[in-house]
Structure 1
Amino acid sequence: MTGINLKRAAIVDVQAGENVTIVEPANVYGCALGDGVFVGPFVEIQRGVRVGARTRIQSHSFVCELVEIGEDCVIAHGVMFINDPFATGGPAKGRRELWKSTRIGSRVSIGSNATIMPVSVCDDVVIGAGAVVTKDIDVPGFYVGNPARLLRRLDADPSKREKHGRQ
């Protein structure tokens, strides 16, 4: 095994609220997880990430540095967050000053295999499976496609959604 630098998945330096569940193997380090957060297997959550209470991050998802996720969110299987927008035409190659942040509001559901570029997403949004979010989302609703676009609005008031037969 000469020349092999073996690294193992670990859970290190995590600030965790009450009743947090992390299913191994997972690589979770230097982040903050609110009460009742669930992290599925084969997930990486990097340093400085903040995850709000009762949020679920399903298997095979990657949450990079500079990401903040609100409360009561669902991050489905295989969701990728990106903090390097290739501002110089290629990878930042460790130049953190070129990275950008992402903020996900509360009650946001992100479908399987979606890619989230450095953006801000308001509360009460559903992002469809496979969508690529390249711009800020500031209107509650359902977003689909590449690049993600508004499919239909979602009334942020749950009582109004029920009256219209939509959830």
Structure 2
Amino acid sequence: MNKPDIHQAAIRDVAFGTGVKVVEPCNLYGCKIGDDCFVGPFTEIQKDVVIGARTRVQSHAFICELVTIGEDCFIGHGVMFINDTFSTGGPARGHKELWRETVIGNRVSIGSNATILPVKIVDDVVIGAGSVVTKDITTPGTYAGNPARRL
């Protein structure tokens, strides 16, 4: 019988600002988390992610590589960020040159279980719970739905 290669959730190689609160278990590696941030349990934040000061990341969120989140943001429970657009008709399978970046502005609130594809979102935006953001958001306001549209 074969044994699996087991990896444990861990916090490693993270640049933390002052006053950061992290609730374990979570998997944080190679990222930067600004001053006075909160990271809830069962969260994964991958390498090269940058999270601005005073941002809250609630439980069960997944923030993949190539994501930058501004200051004073709220990332709700179960929010998923995506960096692979399946541009070749299937998954990139580790070909990072096919991945795309996401940039979230300041004072952006993303409701629980939203999915954020590779996009740019300006400052002062609210994304409704369960929404799927498929295109850049260039005007402040409230957006909801699948695909997310301005209300």
Report what 1:96 is aligned to.
96
Distance (whole Å) between structure 2 residues aligned to residue 2 and residue 93 of structure 1: 24
Distance (whole Å) between structure 2 residues aligned to residue 102 and residue 2 of structure 1: 39
Report what 1:146 is aligned to.
146
TM-score (norm 1): 0.89
Report what 1:131 is aligned to.
131
Distance (whole Å) between structure 1 residues aligned to residue 111 and residue 126 of structure 2: 8
Consecutive unaligned residues in structure 2, runs of 5 or more: none
Report what 2:49 is aligned to.
49
Within the alignment, does 1:79 sit opposite 2:79 as a pair?
Answer: yes
Percent of residue pairs identical: 67
Report what 2:15 is aligned to.
15
The amino acid of 1:135's aligned partner reads K
Shift in Å at residue 2 of structure 1?
Answer: 4.0
Report which structure shows greater RCO (CA 8 Å, sep ≥6): 2
Equivalent residue of 2:118, what SS?
coil
Deviation sequence 1:38-60 (CA, Å, 0-9, x none): 00000000000000000000000
Report what 1:111 is aligned to.
111
Distance (whole Å) between structure 2 residues aligned to residue 99 and residue 7 of structure 1: 24
Distance (whole Å) between structure 2 residues aligned to residue 103 and residue 80 of structure 1: 14
The amino acid of 1:42's aligned partner reads F
Report what 2:64 is aligned to.
64
Which stretch shows the higher mean deviation, 2-11 or 37-46? 2-11
| Greater C-alpha radius of gyration | 1
Name the count of aligned residue pairs.
Answer: 151
Consecutive unaligned residues in structure 1, runs of 5 or more: 152-167
Distance (whole Å) between structure 2 residues aligned to residue 16 and residue 96 of structure 1: 26
Deviation sequence 1:122-148 (CA, Å, 0-9, x none): 000000000000000010000000000
Shift in Å at residue 6 of structure 1?
Answer: 1.4
